[in-house]
A and B are shown apart, each in its own frame.
Chain A
Amino acid sequence: MVEKKKSGYWLTHAGLIIGVLFIFFPVWLTFVASTVNQEEIINPPLPLWPGTEIFENYYHALFKGGREGYGSNEPVINMLINSSIMALGITIGKIAISLLSAFAIVYFRFPFRKTCFWLIFMTLMLPVEVRIVPTYEVVANLNLLNSYTGLIFPLIASATATFLFRQFFMTIPDEMVEAARMDGCSPMRFFIDILIPISKTNIAALFVILFIYGWNQYLWPLLMTTDPDMKTIVIALDAMIPAGDDFAHWPTVMATAMLAMLPPIAVVIGMQKFFVKGLLESDK
């Protein structure tokens, strides 16, 4: 930048490294705790360097549901599958219905178009946290408790995604529709062959944001899933934390915590460019 002072340069790095250490600190210790044995954890202090039990801990967490003598859980692999289905269901569902309604609102004139737009806008003001009890009753009346449908559908309407696509469709030149219409292209043909391919980047950006949103859902699955084999990994992890003087096999718990964090972190780092774009654009 402007100055070239050496001391300022090193101070900048030092400040950033302190920030990075603060960010990494709890996750690193969680990782360490998932690689040691129970004795090393219950006799503090916890070592700062990984131990040797990594394969045993992750194997037991993933496939056995914990160690013998510590109570049993569902194998974590099942919860990972539940979380994946929920996260992908919410992501794909939100993107699909938002693309459809944005297409209708931008490219057609139909009665109550403005009303539809405002109704979708209003859902922004109704997060699941403020309408939990009645929403729970609706889902219970539809017999959808402990089902993937019940986990996914109440979270699927998205004003944000609809607005983002609407905004993007508005920037597409009119000549494109004109040309398509002159070639005798039907509306759905235009939607599938032209609109979706040119929206690819926006879809990818939204995918990252919505996948994280779906994976990290907490309150809704907490109420919805009473069946142990329908629990998502985030809910299951909370249930593994011992209350009061209960015992827990901590390395297994911490391995589960690592497994619960890994998929969304992998998506953020692997698709970083889309993540940054999605975050900066979708929240505005």
Chain B
Amino acid sequence: MEKRVIFKGWWLPALLVAPQLIISFLFFFYPSGQALWNSLFLPDPFGLKTEFVGLDNFKFLLTDPYYLESFKTTIFFSTAVSFFSMAIGLYLAALADRLIKGAGVYQTLLIWPYAIAPAIAGVLWLFLFNGNIGLVSYYLKGLGYEWNHTLNGDEAMFLVILASTWGRISYNFLFFLAGLQAIPKSVIEAAAIDGASFWKRFFTIVIPLLSPITFFLLVVNIVYAFFDTFGVIHTITSGGPEQSTTILVYKVFSDGFVSQDLGSSAAQSVILLLVVGVLTVVQFKYIERKVHY
């Protein structure tokens, strides 16, 4: 789509796009190029000189059990966060959509956690599960269960999934509610007159009609779980215990800034770039052939 009527001249538009392009080059393209470049080199332990090693950093990573473990952790973590936050979001949206009056009130009550930073969500849940003072761990102890996510990797994983899911429900709720409200009521009513129950209608009519939005949310939630949950991990577990919650983004950070392993960190950045690239392309492909009901 192009405008037919336009203004003339080229120096003014060049001036107008300049701020965005300068910032993009300085802070996006140049650093990404640097990451690509650095991923081909290996600095010596004293940081005095670097040696060109070709794809050795990548070869090393793809055979490094810690890195492969981190990949598995990330996939498990993001699948769990996407699944639970979407399931709960859809469940609440389906309920709110049934109401004639009051859907707006519930919307207000359910969407505000979107404003809470993942790091703060982490702090809130950490406080509840704190071994000494946490309310939930206290009652678990009463039930005879000794909660300690600083030693038990499964408990740590549970806690970061819980905190990330909790913060994400509002987002999925809002999109599903918008999607549900866009479904023409006449379709649902026709099915109801034919005698289909609420759940029957939900699974045979509503879910298929929601599939475009579900696919979109799936991609967006995976991106969220891959990248935006850094704050949750950093506040609750710092990747521990024993790397059990070290997702890929956390590993780039800890290898690059904590252990100063720059070649490996750069190679990891490049792999993550590929992941984001693929996810972005998938998402845009979806927008191109977005289905309208």
Contacts and interface: CB of A to CB of B under 8 A. Distances in A.
Interface of A: 1-3, 8, 12-13, 15-16, 19-20, 22-24, 26-27, 29-30, 33, 41-42, 44-46, 96-98, 100-101, 103-111, 113, 116, 119-120, 122-127, 129-139, 153-154, 156-157, 162, 170, 174, 177-178, 181, 187-188, 190, 212, 215-216, 218-219, 222-223, 234-235, 237-238, 241, 250, 254, 257, 260-261, 264-265, 267-269, 272, 275-276, 279-280, 283-284
Contact of B19 (A46, A97, A129, A261): A97
Interface residues of B, number: 101
| B19, B28, B91, B125: most-surrounded residue (chain A CB, <10 A) | B28
Contact of A16 (B20, B95, B115): B95
A135 B23 CA distance: 12
Interface string B1-30: 101111111101110110111011011111
Given A97-B19, A106-B3, A153-B23, A130 B269 contact: yes
B288 to A, nearest CB: 12
A269 B30 CA distance: 39
B167 to A, nearest CB: 10
Contacts, number: 301
Interface stretch (B32-40, B52-60, B66-74): B32-40
B118 interface: yes
Given A104-B12, A276-B111, 14 more contacts: A12-B98, A13-B99, A15-B92, A16-B96, A97-B19, A97-B20, A108-B6, A131-B32, A133-B269, A135-B31, A261-B115, A261-B117, A261-B120, A264-B115
B17 A116 contact: yes
B272 A108 contact: no
22 contacts: A15-B95, A26-B121, A30-B124, A97-B20, A101-B21, A107-B6, A111-B10, A129-B227, A130-B272, A134-B266, A135-B27, A137-B34, A139-B27, A157-B28, A177-B5, A181-B5, A218-B118, A218-B119, A238-B123, A264-B115, A264-B116, A265-B115
A104 B17 contact: yes
Interface string B165-181: 01001110011001000
B215 interface: no
A103 B118 CA distance: 34
A212 B228 CA distance: 13
B256 A27 contact: no
Contacts of A188: 12
A97 B266 contact: no
Given A23-B169, A125-B273, A261-B116, A98 B20 contact: yes
Interface string B221-241: 000000100110011000000
